[in-house]
Structure 1
Amino acid sequence: MSAGVQLGIEMYDRVLVPTDGTETVEQTLPHALSIAADNDATVHALYVVDNRLVTAAEGDATDDLRDSLEADGEAAVADVADRAAAEGLETVEAVRTGTPWKEVLAYADEADCDLIVIGAHGKTPKEKIVSLGSVSERVVDNASIPVFVVRRGRSE
């Protein structure tokens, strides 16, 4: 065996769980927590306030919208952290503002995360165009670390 060749399963020390506070996280979180528990990893919960939404608001609505989205973000990361703590896992919580997929990747790099566990909404191609694309797809396409995607099916 040559030097530098590693056999076996990758070990993860820091698992990033981006959350948008929706039910998709309910399907994603069991996978993330299981991986983190198996590796004794720290769970990083991240919510990104989409600055495109804030920018689109007008006048006094801008501050109100930003405050509301930040409050939603704090609640979303606290929920992930509470669930991880209930499993005996160490957690880090973060709320950022920016373009969601870019902030997820920037945070993963800054926090030296080993794995991103992200949910996908299972949007149709038309829905992706309307919402400026899929955050999970852009994360997968641009990540320098492994990404575990949990796809949520559409109800018919």
Structure 2
Amino acid sequence: MALYDRILVPTDGSPKGNRAVEHALALAAIHDAEVHALYVVDTASYAGTGMEATWTGIDDLLREDADEAVARVEALAEGTDVAVETSVVEGSPGREIVRYATDAGCDLIVMGTHGRGGIDRLLLGSVAERVVRRSAVPVLTVRLGEETEGSTVEEAEPADDAGATDDAGTTDT
């Protein structure tokens, strides 16, 4: 039995965001799962600003960006056996990501986070934080940005048995 069957990866189409996509694709390959790539056009941020009148003019541009973003996920999956389903929705990103995960029956959400703290987080909020708080399914957050150091998905290896305990609870040495 696979741990994950459907993995949701919300994307903004940014090169930094590809790191979360790569994690989602690697997990999907391991678990023989499909990936759902979701782009949320953030219409909630325009509400009440007077921008509604010009929305029809920028709607096509935003839709084009959205289509390119989910197509990038498909391109990253080329050469793998991972099936990718793409969707573009409009609304508040945090709310729509959780809604999509529920409606599509996803068992995991893999998403990037910029790791903001302090006043930036207070003022800007965090879509990832909202999703973590509201989601009924597990959320794996992947730190994005230049400040990120550590292994890549390709460098990850299973841990050896050093320090593992046997059935009697004693440690192997």
User: TM-score normalised by the shorter chain: which range applies?
Assistant: 0.7 to 0.9
The runs of 5 or more residues in structure 1 that have no matched partner are 1-8
Q: Does 1:62 pair with 2:55?
A: yes
Q: Which residue of 1 aligns with 2:114?
A: 121
> Quick one: percent identity of the two aligned structures?
40
Matched residues, number: 146
Say which one has the larger Rg.
2
1:34-68 Cα offsets, whole Å, 9 max, x none, are 10000111110000000124433536532122221
Deviation at 1:119, TM superposition (A): 0.2
Taking the aligned partners of 1:29 and 1:36, their CA distance within structure 2 comes to 10
1:67-98 Cα offsets, whole Å, 9 max, x none, are 21111111101111221233221111000000
Q: Which residue of 2 aligns with 1:3?
A: none
Q: Does 1:45 pair with 2:50?
A: no
Q: Runs in 1 of length 4+ with deviation above 4 angstroms? A: none
Normalized against structure 1, the TM-score is what?
Answer: 0.84
Normalized against structure 2, the TM-score is what?
Answer: 0.77
Task: Work out whether residues 33 and 84 of structure 1, in 8 Å CA contact, stay in contact via their aligned partners in 2.
Answer: yes
Match for 1:27 among 16, 19, 22? Answer: 19
Alpha-carbon RMSD across the aligned residues, in angstroms, is: 1.9
Gap change, CA 1:18 and 1:63, over 3 Å in 2: same
Gap change, CA 1:89 and 1:59, over 3 Å in 2: closer
Taking the aligned partners of 1:94 and 1:68, their CA distance within structure 2 comes to 16
Q: Which residue of 2 aligns with 1:6?
A: none
Structure (1 or 2) with the greater helix fraction: 1
Deviates more, 1:80-89 or 1:26-35: 80-89
Aligned residue identity for 2:42: D
